[in-house]
Amino acid sequence: KQEVTQIPAALSVPEGENLVLNCSFTDSAIYNLQWFRQDPGKGLTSLLLIQSSQREQTSGRLNASLDKSSGRSTLYIAASQPGDSATYLCAVDAGNNRKLIWGLGTSLAVNP
C-alpha cells in the first residue's frame, strides 16, 4: 500500500534562506508526483507536477526533484519570502483510477 510522508511537519526560517521540503513514498510505481500550496482557510494551489519519467521541474524560485528509485521528492525554495508562508503538500498518482495519495504537509513560516 502506497504511503506518503512529509518531514518536517513544521518549519520556521528567517527571510532569505534557501530551504528544502521533503516528501517520501513507499512504492516507486507512480505516474507522477504533485506539489501543492495551501494558505490558511483557502483551497489548494498546484505548484509543480513531475511526471515519472522526469527528474525535476522548475517554476520561478521553486524546484522540485523526483527520485523514484529511492522514493523521494524534494521541493527547493530559493530566497524565501514571508509570502511563501503556507502549508506545502505532496501527492503521488499511483494510477489507481486517478486517485492521489497525500502526505500530511509541511507548515512553513518565513519570518521577516
Partner 1 sequence: NAGVTQTPKFQVLKTGQSMTLQCAQDMNHNSMYWYRQDPGMGLRLIYYSASEGTTDKGEVPNGYNVSRLNKREFSLRLESAAPSQTSVYFCASRTGVNEQYFGPGTRLTVT
Would you tell me which residues interact with partner 1 (CB under 8 A)? 31-32, 34, 36, 42-46, 49, 51, 89, 91, 93, 95, 97-100, 102-105
Distance of alpha carbon 103 from alpha carbon 43, whole angstroms: 16
DSSP-assigned letter for residue 83: G
**77 in Cβ contact with 21 (< 8 Å):** yes
Nearer to partner 1, 30 or 110 (CB): 30
Nearer to partner 1, 23 or 80 (CB): 23
In the numeric block, which cell numbers belong to residue 85? 508562508
Smallest separation (angstroms) from partner 1 to the CB of 91: 8
